[in-house]
Structure 1
Amino acid sequence: MVTADELAQIHGRMAEAGISNAGAYMRKMALNGYILHVDLAPVRELVSLQRRCSNNLNQIAVHAHTYGLYPEEIDGLKEDYEKLWGQLSGVLKELAALVGK
């Protein structure tokens, strides 16, 4: 039994946690006292970038063994890895800020 304002706050917290089932939310809160909702979208993007870089590197290695190496291919790899490490740096800074709180 809660007031309308309390119910609205509960629904707001449920939405923040990404939980739509009130019973599941109440059980989680009663047992753990907290809920963590982690947005892993930046990590998923890093994994995707890493896979692309790995695939490109493998393709270039096969090509290099067969035909030799072209500077444009190396430049493309450098750009991919710079993008990957730039995003990784951003994610690490965000995590460090969260840990520091």
Structure 2
Amino acid sequence: MKQQNRTRNVQLIVRVTEQEHSHIKRKMALMKTNNFNAYARKMLIDGYVIEVDLSQYHELAGEVNKIGVNINQIARMANETRNISPQQIDRLQQEVEQIWQLLKLSLSELQSAS
């Protein structure tokens, strides 16, 4: 039996994966609601989408990669001429690795925020 007297008479159907469903349930729990219709309506009307421009991070990653290439060239020359110690080369490589880790951490924080 159709109910023509409903205030909200348009039905929307959304299909999600099991993982997405679990994620939605966690979000609903954070908002302290069990009513999916109310939650979905609130998010669809009042929710917002964050679009993040990652182009600067891609450029930064390219620059860090270039630094790594330069360090490898320095290491090759140092190994040939013996003007730099293996410890100094290791230190340079560790510092580049730290830069990469900071970049990855920053990107993962951006992704989790969106």
TM-score relative to the length of structure 1: 0.49
Relative contact order, CA 8 A, sep 6+: which one is greater?
2
Name whichever structure is richer in helix by fraction: 1
